[in-house]
């Protein structure tokens, strides 16, 4: 149990980035993957032109790939400005403007899972003010996602790489999940368990899996150190995914790792081709 019992998808915002956005779905399909996820692709445009949305939708359909997860607008990723929903002013407004656009786009492709990155602490606002705004915006997003019977994900990042982000542990992310569900009464907020980020925080991954799998709706992986493919670091990822399965998790596991110096197609040698298609 482990890799053989796992449904994988590929994050096209960190893998295949040597290709233009519209060529990535076909490249993923060419090496066997049928399910993909994305960060919000238009880092400077929370509400892009309809033609851009249509072109990406067509590329996903034409490739035969299913979109299974989408981030709401969060600024430029990866980068120090990640997150928008807890930042007062223009960024908060951009996040809210993006929510209905992202939901309509994803839902048209059969995707109803959305990740809302919390955002960094910023000057000019107290942590309490930011947290209140974040809860307000997350509740807004959860209600909108609820209209398509979807799921809102809350992710913990890692303190070494995102020192200004206040959500850098599994317990803190779960605290936010619970607060959103209490605010809306919808119970559609869930934990995004990124094993790379949690390992960078020094958390006990086995304990996190055993304790928080019931509140988890998506998992992402990369090895540590280096954020590379499984086998490039020291994390026992196959064992951990087997533990997740035993704990009751049967959703997708997102491949959100850096491919290294070669093309992305060379970074999947660890996973037999027969295990790449959604099953």
pLDDT of the chain along its 279 residues, tens only? Answer: 579 989 999 999 999 999 999 999 999 999 999 999 999 999 899 999 999 999 999 999 999 999 999 999 997 665 555 678 998 999 999 999 999 999 999 999 999 999 999 989 999 999 999 999 999 999 999 999 999 999 999 999 999 999 999 999 999 999 999 999 999 999 999 999 999 999 999 999 999 999 999 999 999 999 999 999 999 999 999 999 999 999 999 999 999 999 999 999 999 999 999 999 986
Name the active-site residue from 18, 155, 207, 266: 155
At 188, which helix (H) or strand (E)?
Answer: none
Distance CA 118, CA 110 (A): 25
Structural domain contains residue 93: yes
Instruction: Kindly tell me the sign of the dihedral angle through the C-alpha atoms of 169, 89, 152, 229.
Output: negative
Residue 119 is predicted with a pLDDT of 86
Active site includes 256? Answer: yes
Domain boundaries, position 153: 3-271
Structural domain contains residue 84: yes
Beta bridge partner(s), residue 193: 219
The 3-state DSSP class for residue 210 equals helix
Region for residue 215 given its phi and psi (left: phi exceeds 0; alpha: psi -120 to 50; beta: otherwise): alpha
Strand boundaries in 48-120, DSSP class E: 66-71, 113-115
Structural domain contains residue 172: yes
Q: DSSP character for 225?
A: T
Where helices occur in 85-227 by DSSP H, the ranges are: 90-107, 127-146, 170-184, 195-200, 205-212
Distance CA 208, CA 137 (A): 27
Residue 77 is predicted with a pLDDT of 61
Distance CA 8, CA 269 (A): 14
Distance CA 132, CA 128 (A): 6
Q: In degrees, to the nearest 5, what angle opens at C-alpha 216 toward C-alphas 211 and 217?
A: 165
The 3-state DSSP class for residue 246 equals helix
Give the domain CATH number at 196: 3.20.20.150
Number of domains in the chain: 1
Residue 84 is predicted with a pLDDT of 86
Residue 75 is predicted with a pLDDT of 79
Structural domain contains residue 38: yes
Read off φ and ψ for residue 240, nearest 5 degrees: -65, -40
Q: Say which residues have a Cβ less than 8 Å from residue 244's Cβ, sequence separation at least 6.
A: 209, 213, 219, 253
End-to-end alpha-carbon separation of the chain, Å? Answer: 15
CB 17 within 8 A of CB 256: no
Structural domain contains residue 279: no
pTM (2 d.p.): 0.96
Name the active-site residue from 37, 91, 203, 256: 256
Structural domain contains residue 277: no
């Amino acid at each position: 149990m482990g890799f053989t019992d796992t449904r994988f998808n590929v994050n096209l915002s960190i893998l295949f980035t040597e290709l233009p956005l519209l060529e990535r779905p076909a490249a993923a399909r060419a090496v066997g993957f049928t399910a993909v996820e994305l960060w919000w692709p238009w880092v400077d445009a929370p509400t892009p032109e309809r033609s851009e949305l249509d072109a990406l939708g067509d590329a996903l359909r034409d490739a035969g790939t299913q979109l299974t997860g989408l981030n709401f607008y969060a600024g430029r990723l990866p980068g120090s400005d990640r997150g928008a929903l807890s930042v007062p002013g223009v960024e908060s407004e951009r996040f809210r403007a993006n929510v209905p656009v992202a939901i309509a786009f994803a839902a048209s492709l059969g995707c109803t899972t959305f990740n809302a990155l919390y955002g960094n602490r910023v000057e000019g606002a107290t942590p309490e003010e930011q947290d209140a705004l974040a809860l307000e915006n997350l509740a807004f997003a959860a209600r909108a996602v609820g209209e398509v019977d979807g799921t809102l994900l809350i992710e913990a990042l890692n303190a070494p790489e995102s020192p200004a982000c206040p959500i850098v542990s599994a317990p803190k992310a779960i605290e936010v999940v619970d607060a959103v569900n209490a605010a809306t009464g919808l119970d559609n907020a869930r934990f995004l368990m990124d094993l790379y980020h949690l390992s960078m925080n020094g958390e006990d991954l086995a304990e996190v899996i055993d304790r928080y799998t019931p509140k988890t709706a998506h998992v992402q992986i990369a090895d540590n150190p280096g954020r590379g493919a499984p086998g490039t670091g020291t994390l026992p990822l196959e064992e951990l995914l087997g533990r997740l399965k035993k704990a009751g998790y049967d959703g997708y596991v997102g491949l959100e790792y850096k491919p290294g110096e070669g093309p992305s197609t060379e970074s999947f040698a660890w996973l037999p081709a027969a295990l790449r298609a959604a099953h």
